Structure 1
Amino acid sequence: MSHQRRFVRPSVVMVGPHPHRVIGGISAMINLILDSELSRRFEIEHFPTVVAGSKRQKAMVALRALLRFTWRLLARPVSAVYVHVGGDVSLYRKSAFILIARLLGKRVLVHYHAGHFESYYRSRSRLGRWYLRRVLRSSRRLLVVSRCLKEAMHRILPGAHVRVLHNAVHQAALVHGEIRTDADRLRVLFMGDLSGPKGIHDLLAAMPRIVARAPQVRFLLCGRGDVASIRHHCQQRGLLPFIEHIGPVPLSERGEILRRAQVFVLPSYEEGLPVSLLEAMAVGLPVVSTWVGGIPEVIVDGVNGFLIPPGDVASLTERLLVLVTDPGLRHRMARANRVRIAREFNVSRFIAQLADHLTAVMGRSGDAEDQREHHLRFPTPRRWVPIEPIDHDMG
């Protein structure tokens, strides 16, 4: 009697925000991972730790996730624990998962997405800094989204196994039709939290001069934040007729609003590698952004966008005016962005590199930085099914 050897996929327990009920870059990357070929090579179980809702609801979701996570590690073998971490509070919240996994002898891969770790770390107490170092050193490997963040991590954690894994986007799902270079109403898109760190107040300060010189311009201000305050500010300054949208955009409408725009602006003060910027590049939008985080690793000043110092409203105004008044330049930058995303920030490359990192953490062969080419072939992907039904009343 012959026996066939059955391939057993290595098991990966992943921790991070809910891929559909939280809007943000980390959720976008988790959704990309769960909907990719990676689930054919690894058995991936995702434990959502954050959903949209009140502080009490978020605390209950996090506590329930921690209990389920601990039980899962005790119940069955796990090849690796993969933890997504944002900034500030997220690191402390995820530290419980990281330390429990290490206490139970599991191998941990930490994926740090925020861009301001060093300044946050320096602002902590001596005990707080010790705790953050202890948590991050508990991982077998630490992934970051930009080279500058890798350098910052090495300054704080000398000798740590830090690797760069740039974010990626599904370009084919975002792109429809030809690049638009002209429109009766030329739209400038801002997509991010409507908050100071994202530079929304600098954009508001630049708007009066822009609409005075280019009255055909309309603004799309898309994101969470104090919408009422921003609307009041615009009303007081006579800017409301030039604004087509203020506030959040459902995930289902994200691609549509990207395709409506002709220019993308994100004058942030701190960043990792913003997914919204990569999405804008994927659909062919020229970019005006800042010299922070991983943005200069994606935007070459004057080639596929413009970079300015954070807080420089005069430069922000000037660069936006150049783009809205020069259709030829917009066209050239748009094509450069679509080509760059297709070559360097595509899903296949991201998944291949992530697979190498997971394999290395498990102690098997393969290392993303030691291999120049990635030749992973997987069967057709299937969509993720939650481990247990999600309580939609908590969102």
Structure 2
Amino acid sequence: MKQQIENKITYLMQIPPPSHGAAVINKKIFDSTIINAGLQKSLIPINFVNDLKQIGKISPTKFTKLISLSIKLITTFIKFKPTYIYFTCNCTGVAFFRDWCLIFLIKIFKKKLILHFHGKGIAEKSKSIFYRVLYQLAFNNTSLIFISKQVMQNECDNLSLKNTNLYYVENGIDSINMLPTHKNNTVVNLLFLSTLMPSKGLYILIDSIAKIKTKTHFFHLNIVGGTMDNNEIKKICSRIDKLQLNQYITLRGAAYGEKKYPYFSEADIFIHPTLNDNFPLVLLEAMQFSLPIISTIEGGIPDIVVDNITGFLVAKNNVADLTEKLILLIENPALREKLGKAGQQRFQQKFKTEHFEKNLRQVLQTIIATNKGLETSTRNKENDQALPL
């Protein structure tokens, strides 16, 4: 019975809807029998928004939901009595201040806190003394899990945390059964698949296409994705019209789940020239479809794409660099096949859901074992102090 009580865990996390990368991963974590083997679990869902357009916006409704969420937390502490709180919190923006309040509440009740970050930005914000102090108050005496080794090292270098254990677990996605496809493309199909927003580097890609068309005409770019801003589509179309690229670029609209698969299957090259990202799952999807990838040196992407092995990593905001790599792949089908096969093998070895589940399970077990060891050590010290000399 004592073992079961010690292994009680409450998950405090965003789950769909709305559906986005972090929420989907969170749902898999809570539902996983591998991750939760031997644990008694409960769930407190965080749902401050109903669709992606509401993210980052302040409203009275969100404040009311914060109060309601705090009450649910306290009720769970009293009734379920968890030892551990697994919290997928934000580390920047308005959402960080909201989550900081929840962290403070959890610490008041002396629960062991596991913070799992799907985003990044701590390193940049901690340059401010104000943010650094807030991070130290929030992260001291906790266990922190990051999305990749690269992100973990970048984020925590200058925080000077106390009694904090750092871990990283790379995300994974479900593998799908695919029949071999024989592409009969008359031109090289390029694919961009992401949310249509400037931070994903779409305008850099469009400018690159304008340069490529002066050197070769045997390519076509499909842009697949939805947007959080209706005006963004107009801006994208305006840029395409201005550069006279309508015959080279097609906007396909949003595609989710299995509806994305035909675009991956028909593509020859996947491009993700993002300016701000963490661990984009879309790169894992592209690797699964044996696509060579061109992406940027950003966030945890260097832990996904191996430069010159599974694709190319280019500098952010660098049209010339992106153009050079695109032309190289467009003109070299053998190189495309070589990089694509290497990427597919890397996916099979590292980035399937079962790898993610086993790795997170191991981290959670390490955290539990470490905490039990500390408690035993503390009790032994107390007993030693109580013994007569």
- TM bin (shorter chain): 0.7 to 0.9
- Structure 1 stretch 309-318 or stretch 319-328: which is displaced more? 319-328
- Structure 1 stretch 276-285 or stretch 91-100: which is displaced more? 91-100
Q: Give distance in 2, aligned partners of 1:120 and 1:136.
A: 14
Q: 1:46 to 1:158 in 2, by over 3 A?
A: same
Q: Give distance in 2, aligned partners of 1:59 and 1:264.
A: 41
Tell me which residue corresponds to 1:30: 26
Q: Which structure is higher in RCO with an 8 Å CA cutoff and minimum separation 6?
A: 1
The answer as to 2:172 corresponding to 1:168 is yes
Identical counterparts, % of pairs = 19
CA deviations 1:105-162 (Å, max 9, x no partner) are 111111112233211322x4x33321122112242x1111222322231321355311
For the residue of structure 1 that corresponds to 2:191, the secondary structure is strand
Q: 1:180 to 1:71 in 2, by over 3 A?
A: farther
Tell me which residue corresponds to 1:129: 132
Q: Give distance in 1, aligned partners of 2:2 and 2:181.
A: 48
For the residue of structure 1 that corresponds to 2:305, the secondary structure is coil
Q: 1:48 to 1:262 in 2, by over 3 A?
A: farther
CA deviations 1:315-344 (Å, max 9, x no partner) are 101211222232221211111111111111
Q: 1:352 to 1:241 in 2, by over 3 A?
A: same
Tell me which residue corresponds to 1:235: 241
CA deviations 1:238-257 (Å, max 9, x no partner) are 32343333554334534444
Q: Give distance in 1, aligned partners of 2:291 and 2:65.
A: 37
Aligned partner of 1:323: which letter? L
For the residue of structure 1 that corresponds to 2:10, the secondary structure is strand
Unaligned runs of 5+ in 2: 374-389
Give the TM-score, by structure 1 length: 0.80
* Contact 1:80/1:358 (<8 A) preserved: no
Tell me which residue corresponds to 1:329: 335
Q: Give distance in 1, aligned partners of 2:259 and 2:169.
A: 27
Q: 1:336 to 1:59 in 2, by over 3 A?
A: farther
For the residue of structure 1 that corresponds to 2:339, the secondary structure is helix
* Contact 1:278/1:341 (<8 A) preserved: yes
Shift of 1:6: 12
- The 5-angstrom pairing of residues 1-395 of structure 1 reads 8=4, 10-18=7-15, 20-37=16-33, 38-50=35-47, 51-53=49-51, 54=54, 55=57, 56=59, 60-89=64-93, 90-122=95-127, 124=128, 126-139=129-142, 141-152=143-154, 153-158=156-161, 160-172=164-176, 175-178=177-180, 182-212=184-214, 213-225=216-228, 226-245=232-251, 247-251=253-257, 253-363=259-369
* Contact 2:219/2:330 (<8 A) preserved: no
* Contact 2:125/2:131 (<8 A) preserved: no
Q: Look at both structures and tell me which one has the larger radius of gyration over its CA atoms.
A: 2
Aligned partner of 1:207: which letter? I
* Contact 1:13/1:82 (<8 A) preserved: yes
* Contact 1:265/1:289 (<8 A) preserved: yes
Q: 1:7 to 1:281 in 2, by over 3 A?
A: same
* Contact 2:224/2:253 (<8 A) preserved: yes
* Contact 1:188/1:261 (<8 A) preserved: yes
* Contact 1:180/1:262 (<8 A) preserved: no
Report the aligned-residue RMSD. Answer: 2.9
For the residue of structure 2 that corresponds to 1:311, the secondary structure is coil
Shift of 1:188: 2.0
Give the TM-score, by structure 2 length: 0.81
Q: Give distance in 1, aligned partners of 2:105 and 2:291.
A: 44
Aligned partner of 1:73: which letter? F
* Contact 2:208/2:320 (<8 A) preserved: yes
- Structure 1 stretch 271-280 or stretch 250-259: which is displaced more? 250-259
* Contact 1:357/1:366 (<8 A) preserved: no
Q: Give distance in 2, aligned partners of 1:358 and 1:311.
A: 38
CA deviations 1:364-385 (Å, max 9, x no partner) are 6999xxxxxxxxxxxxxxxxxx
Aligned partner of 2:348: which letter? A
CA deviations 1:299-327 (Å, max 9, x no partner) are 22211101111111011012112222322
Q: Give distance in 2, aligned partners of 1:330 and 1:215.
A: 15
Q: Give distance in 2, aligned partners of 1:47 and 1:167.
A: 22
- Structure 1 stretch 329-338 or stretch 47-56: which is displaced more? 47-56
Q: 1:75 to 1:164 in 2, by over 3 A?
A: same
* Contact 1:170/1:346 (<8 A) preserved: yes
Q: Give distance in 2, aligned partners of 1:99 and 1:29.
A: 25
CA deviations 1:22-58 (Å, max 9, x no partner) are 3432123213323422344434333332433444455
Aligned length: 357
Tell me which residue corresponds to 1:383: none
* Contact 1:227/1:247 (<8 A) preserved: no
Q: 1:252 to 1:76 in 2, by over 3 A?
A: same
